[in-house]
Amino acid sequence: MQKFGIIGMGIRGKMYASVISQNPNAEVKAVCDTNEAVLKEMSEKYGAEAYTDFRDMIDRGDINVVIVATPDFMHREAVLYAASHKLNMMVEKPFSTSVEECREMTDVIRENGVKCLVAFENRWSLPFINTKAVIDAGNVGNILNIYALLNDTEYVPKEMLPWAGKSTPAWFLFPHIIDMASWYTGKEVKRVYATGVKKKLAAENIDTYDSVEAILTYKDGTSGVFTTTWVLPESYPVVADQKMMIVGEKSSISIDLCEQMVKMASPDKFQNPRILGTPVNGHLNAPPAHMLNGYIDVLENDGEPLATEEDGLRNTIIIAAIHESIRTGMPVDIEE
Ligand SMILES: NC(=O)c1ccc[n+]([C@@H]2O[C@H](COP(=O)([O-])OP(=O)(O)OC[C@H]3O[C@@H](n4cnc5c(N)ncnc54)[C@H](O)[C@@H]3O)[C@@H](O)[C@H]2O)c1
């Protein structure tokens, strides 16, 4: 039985608690949040112990796995404390927004034999799993070029994430699409060049980029273009638009998650309801649920996580280089 302690009971922590509560091999043993109102509500809902400090939760000694679902830039302390107590863990993306922190976290995770899953949830998303199978079967051939876009409407930085001004759309969204490119190609990035625009959100006191564009050159010359924005109008038919095109020597593949098979025109909005997250038989049928249920299976069967701290570190190295390139206006070489 996997006894979970969830650190950060916001959007993601709440969703994970719901998934765990439906898994026969897992239990929401404890929840932790600095927001006492949320903490009380969630501990009552799941009959779980409540903590405002994750150290107290871990010191109590009755959980064997944690989920770290605090804001982007706040994963380090919980990861280090849990890993040094040999607790397995699922950590939200980005693994960290600092390469140094990632290296420190990776070292402690390895030293303590912790099974760490970094939550690159697209690896559990049907269109992306399907594409991976096609690529692995050799039907695309050597990949020459990848184009990927992941955009949010303004709702995300303005209403959904109170901490948007302390992150960037590149830290929040690029982990997904850059991880997909790494997963598909298995290739390592050699050089990064990026530009960023800081106008609209900054004028509204959210001090972050509106959009970021990055060109990645992989060691074998493969190129990738990655783009993200946080300022799509709220009338956009989905909150998060994700597209990808992969061009190989044999075939190309295009993925478009804006197209959700169902379209709805209401008096003030045209929407594409989110079909890929529809509950089936009362179970959340969405990538993060498949990811967490898969991780519980890994822990129950002594398997290995599909996306590890190593993947998280590599991902952060690339996204940190993207921010460095925006800052300096120069290409940034990825160190060996
Ligand atoms: N929301 C999404 O769509 C989404 C999707 C994929 C990944 N993520 C990632 O998940 C992580 C969490 O995102 P979210 O959207 O759930 O954020 P959120 O703001 O909804 O939740 C974060 C929670 O952490 C709590 N918190 C802050 N400091 C804490 C501390 N020291 N100890 C315990 N709790 C603390 C906050 O009170 C809040 O309830 C981020 O890294 C984000 O990038 C979010």
State mean pLDDT over 135-139.
98
Are both 105 and 140 inside the same structural domain?
no
246 pLDDT higher than 90: yes
Are both 173 and 318 inside the same structural domain?
yes
The answer, yes or no, to whether any atom of ligand 1 lies below 6 A from the CB of 57, is no
The answer, yes or no, to whether any atom of ligand 1 lies below 6 A from the CB of 95, is no
336 pLDDT higher than 80: no
Amino acid at 151: N
Number of domain units in the chain: 2
- Total number of residues shown for the chain: 336
> For residue 133, what pLDDT is reported?
98
Could you tell me the pLDDT band of residue 254, with boundaries at 50, 70 and 90?
Answer: very high
State mean pLDDT over 126-145.
97
- In this structure, is residue 79 part of a structural domain? yes
> For residue 249, what pLDDT is reported?
98
> For residue 262, what pLDDT is reported?
92
DSSP for 204-266 reads TT--S-SEEEEEEEETTS-EEEEEEES-B-TTSSSSEEEEEEEEESS-EEEEETT--S--EEE
* Cβ proximity of 66 and 82 under 8 Å: yes
Structural domain range at position 179:
122-277+314-333
Are both 298 and 222 inside the same structural domain?
no
Query: 61: domain CATH number?
Result: 3.40.50.720
Mutate to test the pocket of ligand 1, among 7, 14, 15, 34 (most ligand atoms within 8 A of CB): 34
Closest-lying ligand 1 atom to the alpha carbon of residue 35: 37
Are both 92 and 129 inside the same structural domain?
no
> For residue 143, what pLDDT is reported?
98
Name the residue with the closest Cα to ligand 1, atom 25.
8
> For residue 178, what pLDDT is reported?
98
275 pLDDT higher than 90: no
Q: What spacing in Å lies between the alpha carbon of 162 and ligand 1's midpoint?
A: 10
The answer, yes or no, to whether any atom of ligand 1 lies below 6 A from the CB of 241, is no
State mean pLDDT over 163-181.
98
125 pLDDT higher than 90: yes
- CA 8, distance to chain mean position in Å, is 15
At a CB cut-off of 8 Å and minimum separation 6, what does 279 contact?
285
Q: Is 269 helix (H, G, I), strand (E, B) or coil?
A: strand
Handedness of CA 81, 299, 9, 72 (dihedral sign): positive
Are both 173 and 94 inside the same structural domain?
no
Share of the chain above pLDDT 70, in %: 100
Query: 264: domain CATH number?
Result: 3.30.360.10
The answer, yes or no, to whether any atom of ligand 1 lies below 6 A from the CB of 277, is no
The answer, yes or no, to whether any atom of ligand 1 lies below 6 A from the CB of 124, is no
Name the residue with the closest Cα to ligand 1, atom 4.
12
Are both 128 and 264 inside the same structural domain?
yes
Q: What spacing in Å lies between the alpha carbon of 159 and ligand 1's midpoint?
A: 14
pLDDT of 177-191, one tens digit each? 999 999 999 999 999
Residue 104's Cβ-count burial label (10 Å; 0-12, 13-18, 19+) is middle
Alpha helices in the chain (DSSP H): 11-21, 36-46, 54-59, 76-84, 99-111, 126-136, 155, 169-185, 200-203, 287-300, 309-328
pLDDT of 69-117, one tens digit each? 999 999 999 999 999 999 999 999 999 999 999 999 999 999 999 999 9
222 pLDDT higher than 90: yes
Are both 242 and 322 inside the same structural domain?
yes
Pairing of strands 88-91, 65-68: parallel
The answer, yes or no, to whether any atom of ligand 1 lies below 6 A from the CB of 93, is yes
State mean pLDDT over 249-261.
94
- In this structure, is residue 78 part of a structural domain? yes
- In this structure, is residue 282 part of a structural domain? no
- In this structure, is residue 283 part of a structural domain? no
pLDDT of 283-318, one tens digit each? 999 999 999 999 999 999 999 999 999 999 999 999
The answer, yes or no, to whether any atom of ligand 1 lies below 6 A from the CB of 68, is no
- In this structure, is residue 20 part of a structural domain? yes
Give the side-chain half-sphere CA count within 13 A for 106. 20
List residues bridging with 264 in a β-sheet.
271
> For residue 268, what pLDDT is reported?
85
Compute how many other C-beta atoms are within 10 angstroms of the C-beta atom of residue 60. 13
Are both 25 and 76 inside the same structural domain?
yes
- Rounded to the nearest 10 degrees, how much is the dihedral formed by the CA atoms of 90, 277, 31, 118? 10
**Maximum separation of any 2 CA atoms in the chain, in Å:** 58
Q: What spacing in Å lies between the alpha carbon of 90 and ligand 1's midpoint?
A: 13
User: 46: closest CA among 82, 71, 22, 11?
Assistant: 22
User: Does residue 94 have a cis peptide bond before it, meaning omega lies within 30 degrees of 0?
Assistant: yes
At a CB cut-off of 8 Å and minimum separation 6, what does 166 contact?
71, 72, 73, 208
Contacts 24+ apart (CB under 8 A), 294-300: 294/124, 295/90, 295/117, 296/2, 296/20, 296/23, 296/25, 296/26, 297/25, 298/115, 298/117, 299/2, 299/65, 299/88, 299/115, 300/2, 300/25
- Rounded to the nearest 10 degrees, how much is the dihedral formed by the CA atoms of 260, 19, 129, 317? 110
Q: Is 272 helix (H, G, I), strand (E, B) or coil?
A: coil
> For residue 128, what pLDDT is reported?
97
* Cβ proximity of 7 and 32 under 8 Å: yes
Are both 180 and 113 inside the same structural domain?
no
pLDDT of 5-26, one tens digit each? 999 999 999 999 999 999 999 9
Are both 262 and 130 inside the same structural domain?
yes
- In this structure, is residue 196 part of a structural domain? yes
- CA 336, distance to chain mean position in Å, is 24
Mutate to test the pocket of ligand 1, among 70, 89, 167, 319 (most ligand atoms within 8 A of CB): 70
Q: What spacing in Å lies between the alpha carbon of 139 and ligand 1's midpoint?
A: 39
- In this structure, is residue 199 part of a structural domain? yes
For residue 216, what are the CA distances in angstroms to 146, 208, 226, 248, 298? 9, 22, 8, 16, 33
What is this structure's pTM?
A: 0.96
The answer, yes or no, to whether any atom of ligand 1 lies below 6 A from the CB of 9, is yes
User: From CA 14, how far away is CA 65, in angstroms rounded?
Assistant: 16
Mutate to test the pocket of ligand 1, among 6, 12, 40 (most ligand atoms within 8 A of CB): 12
The answer, yes or no, to whether any atom of ligand 1 lies below 6 A from the CB of 306, is no
Are both 116 and 126 inside the same structural domain?
no
Taking all residues of the chain, what is their mean pLDDT, rounded to a whole number?
Answer: 97
Name the residue with the closest Cα to ligand 1, atom 13.
71
> For residue 276, what pLDDT is reported?
80
Mutate to test the pocket of ligand 1, among 6, 7, 9, 11 (most ligand atoms within 8 A of CB): 11
pLDDT of 25-78, one tens digit each? 999 999 999 999 999 999 999 999 999 999 999 999 899 999 999 999 999 999
Could you tell me the pLDDT band of residue 153, with boundaries at 50, 70 and 90?
Answer: very high
Are both 105 and 189 inside the same structural domain?
no
